[in-house]
């Protein structure tokens, strides 16, 4: 008996079967999410040295490229073979990194520790001073009783929160230090792996290209590699530029705060520099707690601090950052804000840092697809044409 297959119904049946299978797989994953999380955590734990090594290698590649392209091309050094240049460049890269760590551990870390300990010890004094300021403000403004009770209630909640934070801060720092010590072996392995990554980085790229060409058609492989190079370029320029920009802002902030004799200059400069890595919200995340710390010491200096930070951030936004990053993003401020909020909600601080370059890549892919479809329809690709 011959069966007459209908092509359309067969296609619908195959698609239906695929959808049902995917739905079953999705349900099984969701129903066993806790066990899946354990397996993923175990896999990440096993691969942690390699993850650390790849991350270190990626970050140190900025320094290696600087030495290979800017330093080892000068004079007679340019006559060296590429293999020898790579060895010298890696040696200089790790010497530079170790020197920076040494300077941090010997000059910045002790002052940071002293500032944090002094801040914790002075919290009771700051709370008493806050009570005094609040009482003076209430007596001058003659606030109604219900508003006064509400303000006192909120102030007491804030005081209790600060006390709890200060009580938990030292144990938290101790646990953080303990975690860092326990993971020191993974860090050592990561450093060793990063050396091999930097030595053979071109070979790893070639191996990746080989795999891509073997799995996809030539046209598809070229598109995938094009996307990879674009993504790498965006991440390189953004992450490297942001780190350099944060370092410059931290140094400038420290110099200016030292000149104005601000309290906790090292701690505040370090906070401002670190948070400056986060786009858009970074300056606010660094300035607000720093303002509160200075305010309890001297309200006048706190106001001066706001003016100083405003000038520094405006100089950074209009002069320093554009020089370092250029137009590496090519997206509007709205999409930058959107990517920070979404990625920050999903992945926390890390999401806020990598959210912008990651969204830029997704945005560029969608933009290319839309413009390609418009070209096929003989329509203009400029957005201004559709206003």
Give the model's confidence band at 188: pLDDT under 50 very low, under 70 low, under 90 confident, else very high: confident
**Hey, how many other C-beta atoms are within 10 angstroms of the C-beta on 96?**
15
Q: Note whether 311 and 385 are same-domain residues.
A: no
Query: d(Cα 282, Cα 309) in Å, to the nearest integer?
Result: 12
Residue 144 scores a pLDDT above 80? no
Decide if 207 is inside a domain.
no
Decide if 94 is inside a domain.
yes
Query: d(Cα 362, Cα 100) in Å, to the nearest integer?
Result: 35
Decide if 131 is inside a domain.
yes
* Best mean pLDDT range from 116-120, 201-205, 292-296: 201-205
Decide if 128 is inside a domain.
yes
Residue 1 scores a pLDDT above 60? no
Give residue for tokens 């996809």.
216
Q: Give alpha helix (H) positions in the chain.
A: 7-31, 33-66, 82-103, 109-121, 123-141, 145-182, 184-199, 201-215, 218-259, 265-275, 282-297, 299-315, 321-325, 333-376
Residue 40 scores a pLDDT above 70? no
135 or 270, greater pLDDT: 270
Q: Say which residues have a Cβ less than 8 Å from residue 256's Cβ, sequence separation at least 6.
A: 308, 312
Q: Say which residues have a Cβ less than 8 Å from residue 357's Cβ, sequence separation at least 6.
A: 234, 235, 238, 239, 329
Q: Note whether 56 and 182 are same-domain residues.
A: yes
* Best mean pLDDT range from 103-112, 114-123, 127-136, 172-181: 103-112
Residue 51 scores a pLDDT above 50? yes
Average pLDDT over residues 143-154: 65
The pTM of the full predicted model, rounded to 2 decimals, is 0.67
18 or 349, greater pLDDT: 18
Q: Range of 92's domain? A: 49-199
Q: Note whether 290 and 260 are same-domain residues.
A: yes
Residue 30 scores a pLDDT above 60? yes
Decide if 301 is inside a domain.
yes
Answer for the pair 193, 49: CB distance below 8 angstroms, yes or no: yes
Residue 207 scores a pLDDT above 50? yes
Decide if 11 is inside a domain.
no
Residue 7 scores a pLDDT above 80? no
Query: d(Cα 266, Cα 244) in Å, to the nearest integer?
Result: 18
Q: Note whether 68 and 117 are same-domain residues.
A: yes
Say what the pLDDT of residue 348 is. 72
Q: Note whether 122 and 141 are same-domain residues.
A: yes
Q: Note whether 92 and 148 are same-domain residues.
A: yes
DSSP 183: T
Q: Note whether 288 and 375 are same-domain residues.
A: no
DSSP codes, 108-147: IHHHHHHHHHHHHHTHHHHHHHHHHHHHHHHHHHT--HHH
Q: Note whether 323 and 265 are same-domain residues.
A: yes
Q: Note whether 179 and 53 are same-domain residues.
A: yes
Query: d(Cα 187, Cα 97) in Å, to the nearest integer?
Result: 14
Q: Note whether 161 and 136 are same-domain residues.
A: yes
Q: Which of 202, 173, 34 is nearest to 109 (CA)?
A: 173
Domain limit, last residue, from 281, 305, 327 = 327
Q: How many domains does the chain have?
A: 3
Domain limit, last residue, from 199, 234, 258 = 199
Query: d(Cα 297, Cα 291) in Å, to the nearest integer?
Result: 10
Q: Which of 157, 385, 353 is nearest to 241 (CA)?
A: 353
Average pLDDT over residues 362-367: 81
Say what the pLDDT of residue 91 is. 92
pLDDT digits (tens, 9 = 90+) for 63-115: 888 888 888 888 777 778 888 888 898 999 999 988 988 887 787 777 777 77
Q: Which of 152, 380, 108 is nearest to 268 (CA)?
A: 108
Conformation bin of residue 133: beta by default, left when phi > 0, alpha when psi is -120 to 50 = alpha
137 or 100, greater pLDDT: 100
15 or 56, greater pLDDT: 56
Residue 238 scores a pLDDT above 70? yes
Average pLDDT over residues 243-250: 86
Query: d(Cα 209, Cα 223) in Å, to the nearest integer?
Result: 12
Domain limit, last residue, from 291, 306, 327 = 327
Decide if 18 is inside a domain.
no
Query: d(Cα 349, Cα 237) in Å, to the nearest integer?
Result: 19
Query: d(Cα 181, Cα 171) in Å, to the nearest integer?
Result: 15
Average pLDDT over residues 125-144: 67
DSSP codes, 188-222: HHHHHHHHHHHHTHHHHHHHHHHHHHHHS-HHHHH
pLDDT digits (tens, 9 = 90+) for 300-357: 888 899 899 889 888 887 777 777 765 556 666 677 777 777 777 777 777 777 777 8
Decide if 374 is inside a domain.
yes
Q: Note whether 247 and 309 are same-domain residues.
A: yes
Residue 31 scores a pLDDT above 70? no
Q: Note whether 54 and 176 are same-domain residues.
A: yes
Q: Is the dihedral of CA 288, 292, 294, 298 positive or negative?
A: positive
Average per-residue pLDDT in the chain? 78
């Amino acid at each position: 008996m011959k069966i007459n297959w209908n092509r359309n119904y067969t296609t619908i049946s195959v698609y239906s079967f695929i959808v049902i299978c995917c739905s079953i797989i999705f349900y099984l994953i969701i129903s066993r999410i806790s066990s899946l999380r354990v397996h993923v955590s175990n896999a990440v734990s096993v691969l942690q040295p390699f993850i650390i090594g790849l991350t270190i290698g990626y970050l140190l590649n900025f320094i290696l490229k600087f030495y290979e392209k800017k330093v080892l091309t000068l004079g007679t050094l340019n006559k060296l073979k590429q293999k020898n240049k790579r060895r010298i460049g890696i040696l200089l890269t790790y010497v530079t990194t170790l020197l920076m760590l040494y300077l941090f551990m010997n000059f910045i870390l002790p002052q940071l520790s002293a500032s944090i300990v002094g801040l914790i010890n002075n919290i009771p004094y700051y709370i008493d001073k806050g009570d005094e300021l609040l009482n003076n403000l209430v007596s001058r403004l003659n606030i109604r009783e219900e508003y006064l009770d509400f303000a006192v209630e909120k102030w007491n909640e804030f005081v209790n929160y600060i006390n709890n934070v200060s009580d938990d801060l030292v144990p938290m720092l101790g646990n953080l230090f303990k975690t860092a010590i326990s993971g020191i072996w993974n860090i050592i392995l990561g450093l060793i792996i990063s050396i091999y990554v930097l030595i053979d980085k071109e070979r790893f790229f070639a191996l990746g290209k080989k795999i891509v060409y073997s799995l996809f058609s030539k046209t598809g492989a070229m598109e995938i590699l094009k996307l990879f190079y674009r993504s790498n370029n965006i991440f390189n320029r953004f992450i490297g530029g942001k780190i350099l920009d944060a370092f410059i802002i931290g140094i400038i902030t420290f110099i200016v705060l030292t000149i104005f004799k601000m309290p906790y200059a090292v701690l505040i400069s370090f906070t401002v520099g670190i948070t400056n890595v986060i786009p858009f919200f970074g300056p606010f995340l660094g300035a607000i707690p720093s303002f509160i710390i200075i305010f309890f010491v001297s309200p006048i200096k706190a106001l001066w601090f706001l003016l100083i930070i405003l000038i520094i951030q405006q100089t950074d936004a209009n002069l320093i950052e554009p020089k370092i990053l250029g137009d590496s993003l090519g997206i509007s401020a709205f999409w930058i804000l959107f990517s920070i909020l979404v990625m920050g909600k999903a992945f926390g601080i890390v999401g806020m840092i990598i959210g912008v370059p990651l969204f830029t890549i997704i945005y560029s892919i969608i933009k290319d697809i839309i413009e390609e479809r418009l070209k096929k329809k003989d329509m203009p690709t400029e957005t201004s044409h559709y206003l």
